[in-house]
Amino acid sequence: MATAFLSTPNTFLPSPSASSFSSLLTTVPSLFCPHKRNAKRHLALCKAVNESTPPSSPNLTKRSLSVHLITSFGFLFAGKGCSGANAAILEAEDDEELLEKVKRDRKKRLERQGAISSSNKEKGYLQDLVYKLSRVGQAIDNNDLSTASSVLGGSTNADWVKNANIAFNKLSSGPEEQTQVDTFNSSLASLISSVTRKDVESSKLAFVSSASAFEKWTALTGLVGQLKGL
């Protein structure tokens, strides 16, 4: 088949005349060498762009960009260095402050332990308070307010209450301990009043409040492990 096409080319294309052939060359050059024409057009466009742009602009832009980047990085690293130094100073101050706090707490704890060790009489007063609260709590739980009243003594002027406050005043070393002492005395007064009126529910509430305040006070002063029954 290929031989047939080659041997009969005039079957598809008629023989052009000289004028028509030259006309064909001028009107259809892109069909024969499209890459060459496109290349010339591309070069013409590049030349036009280069002529319209000042030659110094790209160099100036690159130089400006480089200066800007170097300056930015310089400020960035300088800022990081300052931030790191400030952070180190603050951290050192925090560590020093924490160390001082630990020293103060340790000193306070040692002073408190020394005061407790030398306060056997006061610890005896507090041990008596623990026993009385235990007996009162059992009586109230059994609705036996008569027994609770006899243990309490019917007044905040009872000797065991006065002795307990002597121990409170000697062994309290801060406002937190004093707050619990005030709560205890207030709740104890309500407990005695409620028991005297035979009010079981109010007696229970007042007992819980007074016992809780005393327990918190012993925790603050470090007496929890030195009193039996807590």
174 or 140: which leads in pLDDT: 140
Residue 159 corresponds to which tokens in the numbers above?
A: 């000797």
**Whole-number pLDDT of residue 91:** 72
Residue 67 pLDDT exceeds 60? no
Cβ-based neighbours of 156, under 8 Å, separated by 6 or more: 185, 188, 189, 192
Residues 138-163: tens digit of each pLDDT: 999 999 999 999 999 989 999 999 99
E-assigned strand segments in 21-179: none
Cβ-based neighbours of 44, under 8 Å, separated by 6 or more: none
> What CATH fold (topology level) applies to the domain 120-226?
Four Helix Bundle (Hemerythrin (Met), subunit A) (1.20.120)
Q: Kindly report the CA angle at 114 between 112 and 120, in degrees rounded to 5?
A: 100
Residue 210's pLDDT band, with cuts at 50, 70 and 90, is very high
Q: Phi/psi at 53 (nearest 5 deg)?
A: -110, 130
Asked if residues 218 and 230 have their Cβ atoms less than 8 Å apart, the reply is yes
pTM of the model: 0.55
Segment 176-181 shows an average pLDDT of: 96
